[in-house]
Amino acid sequence: MTRFICLLITAAINIIDGDTIVTRDGERFLGQPVAEDKVHFTLRTQYGDLKIPLDVIVSHKRDQYRIALKDGSRIEGRIESQTDKEVVVSGRQLATATIESIVIRATRASMDPEEMGMLFQRSLDLHAKEKFEESIRILKQILAEHPNHSTALYNIACALAMTDKKSEAIEYLKKSVETGFINFVHMEKDADLDSLRQEEGYLELLKGRAEYIEKFKELRLSGIATALKNQGVDADSYEWFTDQERNFVFLHNRSAEDLLQIRTGLNEFAEVIWKTIFKNRPTLPLYIVLLSSADTQKMFKDGKGGFFDPATRTLFCGDIPSWRLARTSIIQHEFTHALHYADVNARGQAHPIWLIEGLGTLYETAELGEAILPRHSQRLAILQDAIERKQSTPWAEFMKMDQPEYMKRPLESYAQTRYMTFYLWEKGLLRDFYDDFAIKENYDHDRTGRESYEVMFGKPIQAVERDWKAWVQSLEVPPVPFLGVSGEAIDGKLILNQVMNKSAALEAGLKKGDTLLSIDGEPTPSMDDLMNLIGEKEAEQEIEIKYRRNEDEKTARVKLGKRPAPRLPRPRPPEAAADLGIAMKMLDGGIQIQELTKGSPAEKEGIKTGDFITFIDGKEVNSVRAYLRLLKKVKPGKAVKLKIKSGGEEREVELTTGRI
């Protein structure tokens, strides 16, 4: 019990299950809801009523209850509050005197991924603060429900090694390897394990790495099959195929021809990626699960197209007709994540979410040749709309976001991050940026990537963002063909439940309740079939539609429209920064002005392109990075002194900085 929680009632209550609350200290409490106000949530536990401040709660999983009344009737729902006189269940008030019993409707599910993630993050925070015993206590909560969780076992080994409990640390390290933590490259670089390097048990683990890797492969294949079955997927209909040369393991239900085409494409894609951006290749098996369209809907009920799990190096790649309609590859997106992870893992780094998703989205619509050529997508329309309405997130804020913040506005985030990396690619700077950022000294100084981005352009991030916005608005959004209907497949027939305003479907005369029969003679028994057919067309292409209304069969010809982009909510104020109106580059050991903004403070003072800046406010400037760091310390509208070298002469000028 922490100091934040106050015990109100000492009488013990027999509660074996109920709502679960997790606090930011990693404590978990189980019980029935009693009351909630603006400050506290009160939970009835087996130890009494606990009053928990709302600001320390990070997770609250609500359960369903079955209330048996004395008159023999039953009520099910969530308990919202209870007192000595009444219980409120899903908005219904019940007098306590009328209640026979309150029980959980069903057995509570095990710890959900969100709750586990929060506990992991808390354990990592405590480990970073060298509170190793507390970190271990939280990790053991995870092991109580998942005794074979390899990462939890590994992290406990690290914490024990840091407290010089070597024999116990090796015991947990061995358990982690036996349950699947076979990332020996990371293990050998992890400073937390330095105290174990000469221990016999540690050396024995390294000797057996090949055997462990092969053993885990079998465990992983079995685990993936079980995960599919748990989601209602017929895993027995999927086959395994191992690409021995590249260590790719496929689970699929595709034809031999389809699998060969996918494998060939991924192999070519990987080779180009390794030549053009990532230096380190995967050293452990990469598992690629290719789901059918029907099984995608079973696995991803929240609309996601796929995901990459770095802990097990597994890609789940869905088959979603709407993605194909937009000429977007889920496989290339997730495969890029896997290759990126292999590179950063070898470097011992953890790149920011904007860069991870930036590269994934960049390559999701790319043509493959000697190089990978990204194509513009519908994400551009989302971003242009956000910029036009001043709703894009300022870069200085965006680059610091963690994943939960990033996912608060996913449509905007994915669009913005794609075109931040696309801008680097367009300017021929993507590889240079990545190499600069991945240098250990640069990464350790700034893990957001902001400084490396600034160095590429020789100016503050706000100035780069300003130029980027103009570039984005100059681009043309590729049209996606759009019919404008939605429907439901019933008995092998597509019944329309919506015909959108100002759409080709409305122009063709389609109405809600019609049965859509075919497009250009091809049958449309489901929405997937319809989107696949529309995806083969072009915007403004004329098509023939056949449909049935009541007993009448009708035919219409119409031009397909263009898919509209979604609109985004609420603006964000930009972060102001000092601006001199210049961009710098390194030349002959100094930093030279390569670009001047018209009307800027520097231009007004008579500074010219080709001049060198040697000092800012008395501090020497010997690199673009040093210049940018010093400029960050200057507030907009404040005076700054520059020492300028032009030809053989040096002079000092004082400027009042502008605002970006």
Burial of 475 (0-12, 13-18, 19+ CB in 10 A): middle
Long-range contacts of 75-83 (CB under 8 A, 24+ apart): 76/105, 78/33, 79/32, 79/33, 80/33, 80/36, 81/33, 81/34, 81/35, 81/36, 82/32, 82/33, 82/34, 82/35, 82/44, 83/34, 83/35
Which pLDDT tens digit goes with each residue over 110-163? 555 556 667 777 888 889 899 999 899 889 888 877 777 888 899 999 999 999
DSSP for 464-504, please give it: HHHHHHHHHHHS-PPP-EE--EEEEEETTEEEEEEE-TTSH
Long-range contacts of 397-400 (CB under 8 A, 24+ apart): 397/572, 397/575, 398/354, 399/352, 399/354, 399/448, 399/449, 399/450, 399/453, 399/461, 400/352, 400/448, 400/450
Which pLDDT tens digit goes with each residue over 491-506? 889 999 888 888 888 8
Mean pLDDT of 48-66: 73
Mean pLDDT of 276-305: 82
Mean pLDDT of 231-252: 85
Alpha-carbon gap, residue 221 to 235, rounded angstroms: 11
Weakest-pLDDT range from 68-82, 373-387, 522-536: 68-82
pLDDT given for residue 77 in this prediction: 77
Asked whether the beta carbons of 577 and 632 are under 8 A apart, the reply is yes
Q: From the centroid of its chain, how far is CA 520?
A: 39
DSSP 8-state code for residue 537: S
pLDDT given for residue 106 in this prediction: 45
- Containing 43, the helix (H) or strand (E) segment is strand 40-45
Full-model pTM: 0.62
Asked whether the beta carbons of 270 and 339 are under 8 A apart, the reply is yes
Q: From the centroid of its chain, how far is CA 581?
A: 35
Residues near 543 by beta carbon (within 8 Å), at least 6 away in sequence:
519, 520, 537, 557, 558, 559, 560
Please say if the pLDDT value at position 570 is more than 60: no
Mean pLDDT of 320-341: 79
Mean pLDDT of 554-570: 76
Percent over 90 (pLDDT), the chain: 24
Q: What is the rounded average pLDDT for all residues in the chain?
A: 83
> Which amino acid is located at 481 in the chain?
P
Token pair of 129 as six digits: 């603060």
> Which amino acid is located at 455 in the chain?
V
Percent over 70 (pLDDT), the chain: 89
Which pLDDT tens digit goes with each residue over 630-654? 888 888 888 889 888 887 788 888 8
Alpha-carbon gap, residue 6 to 43, rounded angstroms: 11
Which pLDDT tens digit goes with each residue over 162-195? 999 999 999 999 999 888 788 787 888 889 999 9
Task: Please tell me which of 26-30, 93-97, 532-536, 566-570 the model is most confident about, judged by mean pLDDT.
Answer: 93-97
> Which amino acid is located at 549 in the chain?
R
Which pLDDT tens digit goes with each residue over 614-626? 888 889 888 888 8
- Containing 533, the helix (H) or strand (E) segment is helix 527-535
Asked whether the beta carbons of 558 and 545 are under 8 A apart, the reply is yes
